[in-house]
Structure 1
């Protein structure tokens, strides 16, 4: 029996949708990483019960961290995106979390940058707060070990392709890392990352989506815990294409999931068609409730997914909407991205040393 609702919410469902197509469906995926991260911090003495944990979020992680703090008797402070809706604000308030929400902003890249700046301001005023650094600390990988074990038991690791949003790198990256570290050998696990246009993580910042950057699976700032060398293939998928995927996923398979799941579903179907001998599993990180007005209410606008196919590219300069695919071949981060990441990490280390001393 679970001792807290967060443990139940964080446990995903494995649903076989079709021959060789499996959905890993979460109610709220980041509860898995937040619970394990907070437990690890407590076990190692990095924080104590009653301390305040701080982070920035576009929505899912805010709820996850609030639940983890509730579970372990911690205080929670969130710097939230403009995308945090009324339902989530209400839940955070009742759970006892403090939310600072950014002013409305049509540019989510600017919104993300402002949130990080605000985190630094809060830490300067409250050095006793612990910054969870969901975008930079690989303790957020820890919670996915049990999920990987469950996948291994259900599907095995021979001829398995895992598809999902890259985001901070903690979910898909962790699943691939743990699945490839299986007892008895790494098996044959391929990792396919899904990105929005405009994300800098794999070099698509020069292509903008006229609708919106899909919050949660891309980034306008360097993320320190994305392991580029874990990914075999990348798909860049626009809002319109992801909307079509989400609507088809609900209509065809009755899975009501978020926009990133629609993007992952499109990529997974394509990968399955390319490799008929492989089982393809895609991640549905959250339910579709917060996308009712922005996605599902527009279901009549959705293009038939049979009409959609990715443009095959060999270089990011060839990227084009609505959907592009490129083999990454487990390459390390591009030199420029690596340099930017190193500078960011160096600035962060310097900053933390100044705060702690």
Structure 2
């Protein structure tokens, strides 16, 4: 029996959509990393119950951290994106979290930079606060070990392709680290962080796990800042600032997907498979379908990080505009100078940043 609702929310479902096409569906994915990170900080004495934990968020992590703080008796202070909606604001308030939301801004790149500036201002005023640094601290990898174990048990790890938004690197990066590991040795704390050699442990062959990252145009993480999407940069899977816990060398292939294409993917996923998920999931679904078609002998698993509720007005209400996904295909490129909307694909070959 779970001791707190956060534990239940963080437990994903594995849904087989087609032969060798699997969806790893979360209600709120970042609860996994927030719970494990806060527990690790308490266990190691970095923070104590009653301390204030601080971070910036476009939405999902704010809710996750608020739940983790509620679970462990901490205070929570969030500098929120302009995209944080009324439902989330209300939940955070009732959970006891403090939210500072950025003023309305059409440029999400500027919104992200302003949030970082505000974080530093708050730390100057309250040096006793602990900044969670979800975009930079590899403690956010820890919670995905159990998820990887569940995937390995259900699907096996050999011949597996994992597809998902890159974001801070904690979800897809951590899953690849743990799934590629040659053995199931004891949890060694931060062994799955960006600088870990967990995939090269002695004692066995590393599993055949390919990692496919999904990015929006305009994100600097893999060098697409020179191409802008007229609709939006998909918050949560890309960034206008460098993220410290993205391990570029984990990724085999990258897909850059526009808002319109991701919208089509989200609508098709709901219509065809009844999975109601967010915009980044629609992008991941498109990429997963393509990788599945290219390599039908491999099991392709894609991440659905959250539900579609906060995208009802911006995505699902526009379902009649969605183009058929069968008519969408990526442009294969060999250099980032060739990137173009609505969808580009490139072999990354586990290169460093």
TM-score normalised to the size of structure 1?
A: 0.90
**How far is the alpha carbon of 1:158 from its aligned partner?**
1.1
Instruction: State whether residues 157 and 186 of structure 1, in contact with CA within 8 Å, keep that contact through their aligned partners in structure 2.
Output: no
Change (3 A) 1:252 1:186: farther
Is the CA contact 1:127–1:355 (under 8 Å) kept in the aligned structure 2?
Answer: no
Provide closer, same or farther for how the CA distance between residues 186 and 235 of structure 1 changes in structure 2, counting only shifts above 3 A: farther
Distance 1:295 1:3 in 2: 35
Whole-angstrom distance in 1 between the partners of 2:59 and 2:229: 21
Instruction: State the 1:211 CA deviation.
Output: 0.2
User: Which whole-Å deviations, capped at 9, do the CAs of 1:161-197 have from their partners, x for residues lacking one?
Assistant: 0000000000000000000014289999xx0000000
- Residue 325 of structure 1 corresponds to which residue in structure 2? 345
1:313-334 superposed Cα distances (whole Å, 9 cap, x missing partner):
0010000000000000xxxxxx
Task: Give me the CA root mean square deviation.
Answer: 4.7
**CA contact under 8 A between 2:33 and 2:142: conserved in structure 1?**
yes
How many Å apart are 1:355 and its aligned residue?
35
Residues 33, 143 of structure 1: 8 Å contact kept: yes
For residues 352 and 73 of structure 2, what CA distance do their matches in structure 1 show?
A: 24
1:62 maps to: 62
Cα 1:187–1:23, aligned 2, differ >3 Å: closer, same or farther?
A: farther
User: Are 1:354 and 2:329 counterparts?
Assistant: no
Deviation at 1:354, TM superposition (A): 36
Q: CA deviation at 1:356?
A: 32
In structure 1, stretches of 5+ residues that fail to align are 329-352
CA displacement, residues 225-253 of structure 1 (integer Å, 9 cap, x when unaligned): 00000000000000000000000000000
Greater shift in the superposed pair: 178-187 or 45-54: 178-187
Corresponding residue SS for 1:277: coil
8 Å CA contact retained: 1:180, 1:186? no
C-alpha displacement at 1:276, in angstroms?
A: 1.3
Partner deviation per Cα, 1:66-107 (whole Å, 9 max, x = no partner): 000000000000000000000000000000000000000000
- 8 Å contact kept, 2:50–2:75: yes
1:250 aligns with 2:270: yes
Q: Residues 116 and 356 (structure 1 numbering): CA distance in 2 closer, same or farther, change over 3 Å?
A: farther
Q: Aligned equivalents of 1:252 and 1:354: distance in 2?
A: 33
Structure 2, unmatched stretches of 5+, are 189-210
Normalising by structure 2, we get a TM-score of 0.91
